[in-house]
A = this chain, B = another copy of it.
Amino acid sequence: MFITCNQSDLIKTLNIVIRAVPSRSTIDILSCVVIKTIGDTINLVANDIDFGIESVLSGTVNEGGSIALGAKIFTDIVRKLPNDTVTIKTDDTLRATITCGKSVFKIAGRGTDDYPDLPEVKKDKKITISQFSLKDVINKTIFAASTNETVKILTGEYFEVSDNRLRVTALDNHRIAVHSIDLVDNNDNVKAIIPAKTLNEVSRIISGEVSENIDIYFDQRFLVFEFDDTVITSRLIEGDYIDIHKMISDDYETKVHLNRISLLEQLDSASPLITESEKKPIIFDITDKNMNLSANTSIGSLNSDMDIEKEGRDIMIGFNPHFLMDAVKAIDDETIDLYFTNQKAPCFIKDEDNSYKYVVLPVNFSTSDVE
């Protein structure tokens, strides 16, 4: 193999595909990035079995072929090269010679016969979404996905497309995040659980431009993201997702309207007092026009007030402030509505047209927790 490209194109494409190189793997060759030519096209590939990326590198094929190069050393070398023409040439002993300006590097490579192929995906169903919307909907929900591998389906996000509306749901034992967006026409109806790890990587790789679209294809077991010169393939999580929309009701006894940033600052100011080990709550005492926040822990205490508008009954309720902050941070609106039923029932935050809904479970508290 003998190829010619620019250092800036090479590092850009490498930075995309190396996101699929596993940090640890029992299969040694997965620590490599594959460079392979297909006709006049140069492709870079990395593959973590459940998750793979293939991206086209702009450049010239002088002589066809393929090589697997250690992802770390190859990236380290390319990153430090000047922005100039780079040639990569392999010899019969699978040694790669990387030349740029007056510098000549030689590193050992490997054959690509043992490198696993990315799965063939049947493209049964297709949806199209702007890169901006996909990145946005991921960032606004993914924090609620569970990190506990024992309940596999909760480590993913549930993507439901119905009548050109996408609803994304993530949840763990403490909270639920749901966001919905309208897609443009001609999308297939889809129900799929996508690993949160895959969505995190996709969110990092895509530009987030409103004008750039991304096509997502699904079959029974895999999905494929196609955009720009890149194809990302991921296994889906098998199983049935929890139908939370039947479980959570929109009924409430108390509705609170308040400034989102003020609430965020109040919750954040309490966080130095709250430790994971002690698990003390922050307590809201909600009366007309005022919400009193208090916490009382082994570190110290806080008592604070904020202006609100309230409909319905007074209520006193405790929360883990971090779970509430995650939800409040993910919203863009200047003011938000919080809905409460009683001390034991979930609180929810939603907008009027149901584009988002966050549910947070309350925490029990005793009178000594109130400052």
Contact = CB atoms under 8 A, between A and B. Distances in A.
Interface in A259-302: 265-266, 268-269, 271-273, 299-302
B272 A302 contact: no
A303 interface: yes
Given A80-B271, A272-B80, A104 B304 contact: yes
A226 interface: no
Contacts of A299: 73, 107
A73 B106 contact: no
A325 to B, nearest CB: 12
A76 interface: yes
Contact of A304 (B76, B103, B107, B304): B103
A272 to B, nearest CB: 4
Contact of A371 (B82, B106, B265, B269): B106
Interface of A: 73, 76-77, 80-82, 102-108, 265-266, 268-269, 271-273, 299-306, 371
A81 B304 CA distance: 12
B80 A268 contact: yes
B304 A73 contact: no
B371 A272 contact: no
B102 A272 contact: no
Contacts of A300: 73, 77, 105-108
A240 B301 CA distance: 53
Contacts of A107: 299-301
12 contacts: A73-B272, A73-B299, A76-B271, A77-B300, A80-B268, A81-B269, A102-B306, A103-B266, A103-B303, A104-B302, A104-B304, A105-B302
